[in-house]
Structure 1
Amino acid sequence: MSLAIPPGTDLTKTPLAPNPSGAPPNFENPPSLANISYGLVSTMLVLASGVVGLRVMSVVKKERRLKVDDYCCILALFLTSAYGILIMLMNATARHAWDTPISFIDETWLKRNAALCLLYGPAMFFAKAAVCTLYLRIFNTVTWMRYAAWGAIVVLGITYGTMVPVYAVFSFPYGDEKWDLALTMKVGRVDRMAISTGTINVASDIFLLAIPVPIIMKLNLSLRKRIGLSAVFMTGIVATVATVLGLYFRIEMFRSKFDPDGGDATWVAAATYITVLVELYVTIMVSCVPGCVSSWRNILRESTVITTLRSLINSSRASLSRSRDSSRARASQGKSASIRSDEADLTPKDEFELQERKERDVGITKTIKIQQTEV
């Protein structure tokens, strides 16, 4: 986009880039990624907070104190949540560049964008460090795993740590610079670094997904359990897909600089933010999966809600059993009543014959017993 804006131009009615179709800009009700952004941030924030909460409950109940990986996870959640809130506050530009007036890129938007750039590196580092330190805790007896996890932490620390001072230089005005549209061109100079970072993101996600699998497959477990345990860690494949998409959008952002029409920078940037957010939240949740399983076994299973449900189920079963016993008892009483009723309908003659038959049977029984005694 050219910065040669004629004096007196109404920036509220001038788009950032011309529409490739030649159609006039739509400033009133344009296609936007804002709703997707709002829904995604809200949903992922609730899910991630719940999962991290379960993890903390499990650790506190079992260990009585938090470990390094727990602190990394909690810090990553706070930084990612701040990142998501900033994205929602910048949703005014989550539309095509030809539907975005230049006036939207004001001082407030630029300051939020600068804060967003500074948050990205630390948030991504602590999210991935939570997974690495989790591996160190679970597989601490495996030598090569310790080296691999520590190596990943060092590489990621250098990569994401370098981003903070770089963005501090290119996202903020210095000297005669101001918070204006010219600052966006300055920030655009780090696009190549963004592509390199995206490539490292993809490589690190694949690495973190793959390294626990060989250990799990050697465990003395059934094949079904080993596959299930591997699947727990492989849930991070969602984050990997988001990372690949993020790399694609970073490349598109870089290409838009060479588009004679200015490209579609605002739309691509909004899509990139969404993929970054998904990667961050999913990485956090992946690091919490073992803790969540432990929480379910140790805490939720004994919680008031679960206990109440169990009590209701057991009461229902007991009630059903009593009902069956009662039905059987009534059926037995019915048979007895039927016999008594049959006896009640006998005539005096029949009663005499019945009594005589009973006495004869008793006499036969006594005779048999006497004979057995004599023998």
Structure 2
Amino acid sequence: MDQPPPGIDPSNIPLAPNPNGDPPNFNSPESLQTTVLATGIAFILVSGICVVLRLYTGLKKSRKLFADDYFCVAGEIVGIAQWAVQYTMMTHGLGRHSWDIPATALTLPVMKLQLASQMLAAGTHFAVKAALALFFIRVFGTLRWVRITCYSLLVLTLLSYASYEVIILIFCIPRSGEAWDHLIVARCTTGAPSTIAVGVCSVVADLVLFVMPFPIIAGLSLNPQKKRALGIVFLIGFLVVVTSVVGLAYRVIVAVCRL
């Protein structure tokens, strides 16, 4: 946003106009702070238990950890860090509708937290996808098409997320002689199209990782209990694909609104 005219208090200016035409609500606006806190703690507990059980089972069976285990742990740790950054941003006045956030909320700590959140999010997504691809290579690596598919996915996701982080560093960090201000925020938003490209790569990777096990297990003879367990796993995988598609849709909407 541009600098306000002289005599205008920026604390009374919202980050964006309300599409309904209503005035901003800076006193008691709707906020996602409680939701982010509650869902974050719940998912951290569930995912943490799953990771611990995975490591325990792997160590008990193989007496060692594999590359996919390490990436799984890395994804959990970086994901928790990213959630912590997101929640901290909520405590600084974000997590509301943009028209209920005053311009003064874009403080130096908030801008740095936003940058950290973007960097950590990319690292989390890559670690989780890499863990799945490496797991398939370890378990089904005797199948040539599985190896080719998984290694291709690793290269695709690494290049997409690495290029995204480079773009963030180029557009969202002040250059020599610049300060952290609204101009940096405006320039950072010009990199929005890159989020669409990353979102497309993410959806493709999620779809491939979701579909890939089907031809592998199609010929297996499984008892009803194992079939139910696989059904739960595939349901979770399907939900991941859905959230990935929804995330891409919102990226497109945000990018179009900024044009």
Identify the TM-score tier after normalising by the shorter chain. over 0.9
2:166 aligned residue? 165
**1:152 alignment partner, SS class:** helix
| 1:239 counterpart = 2:240 | yes
User: Which one has a bigger Cα radius of gyration?
Assistant: 1
Question: What amino acid does structure 2 have at the position aligned with 1:55?
Answer: R
Number of the residue aligned with 1:206 = 207
Please give the alpha-carbon distance, in whole angstroms, between the structure 2 residues aligned to 1:110 and 1:22: 27
Does 2:2 align with 1:3?
Answer: yes
Q: What one-letter code is carried by the residue in structure 2 that aligns with 1:229?
A: L
Partners of 1:224 and 1:53 in 2: how far apart?
23
How far apart in 1 are the matches of 2:19 and 2:190?
Answer: 25
Cα distance in 2 for residues equivalent to 1:217 and 1:125: 28
Is 2:117 the counterpart of 1:116? yes
Aligned positions of 1:213-252 closer than 5 A: 213-221=214-222, 225-226=226-227, 228-229=229-230, 231-252=232-253
Contact 1:213 1:230 in 2 (8 A): no
* One-letter identity of the residue aligned with 1:33: L
Partner in structure 1 of residue 74 of structure 2:
75
Whichever residue aligns with residue 35 of structure 1, its letter is: T
TM value normalised by structure 2: 0.93
The yes-or-no answer on 1:53 pairing with 2:52 is yes
Structure 1 residue 82: Cα displacement: 0.7
Residues in 2 aligned to 1:167 and 1:149: alpha-carbon distance in whole angstroms = 27
| Distance in 1, Cα, partners of 2:20 & 2:194 | 32
Q: What pairs up with 1:221-300 in 2 under 5 angstroms?
A: 221=222, 225-226=226-227, 228-229=229-230, 231-258=232-259
**Alignment correspondent of 2:40:** 41
**Aligned match of 1:177:** 178
Q: Distance in 1 between matches of 2:236 and 2:15?
A: 39
CA drift at 1:242: 1.0
Q: Percent identity?
A: 30
Instruction: Work out the CA distance in 2 between the residues paired with 1:34 and 1:21.
Output: 23
Q: From the superposition, tell whether residues 144 and 230 of structure 1 become closer, same or farther in structure 2 (CA, over 3 Å).
A: farther
The amino acid that maps onto 1:102 is A
- For the residues of structure 1 that align with 2:17 and 2:147, how far apart are their CA atoms? 54
- 1:224 to 1:70, Cα distance in 2 relative to 1, 3 A: closer
Q: Tell me the amino acid that sits aligned with residue 108 of structure 1.
A: P
Q: CA 1:70 to 1:32, structure 2 compared with 1: closer, same or farther past 3 Å? A: same
> What's the secondary structure of 1:12's corresponding residue?
helix
Inter-partner Cα distance in structure 2 for 1:231 and 1:88: 30
CA distance 1:8–1:227, change in 2 (3 Å)? same
Aligned to 2:16: 17
Give the partner amino acid of 1:9.
I
Q: Which has the higher contact order (CA 8 A, sep 6+)?
A: 1
TM-score by length of 1: 0.65
SS in 2 for 1:187: helix
For 1:52, give the aligned amino acid. Answer: V
Q: How many residue pairs get matched? A: 257
How far apart are 1:222 and its partner, in Å?
5.4
| Kept in 1: contact 2:136–2:150 (CA 8 A) | yes
**Counterpart in the other structure of 1:26:** 25
Unmatched 5+ stretches in structure 1: 259-375
1:350-369 pair list within 5 angstroms:
none
1:20 aligned partner, one-letter code: P
How many angstroms does 1:231 deviate by?
4.5
Question: Is contact 1:106–1:181 with CA below 8 Å preserved after alignment?
Answer: no
Greater alpha carbon shift after TM alignment, 123-132 vs 27-36: 27-36
CA distance in 2, matches of 1:223, 1:37: 37
Gaps of 5+ in 2: none
For 2:133, the aligned partner's letter is: C
- Seen in structure 2, the aligned counterparts of structure 1 residues 47 and 16 have a Cα distance that, compared at 3 Å, is same
Question: 1:316 corresponds to which residue?
Answer: none
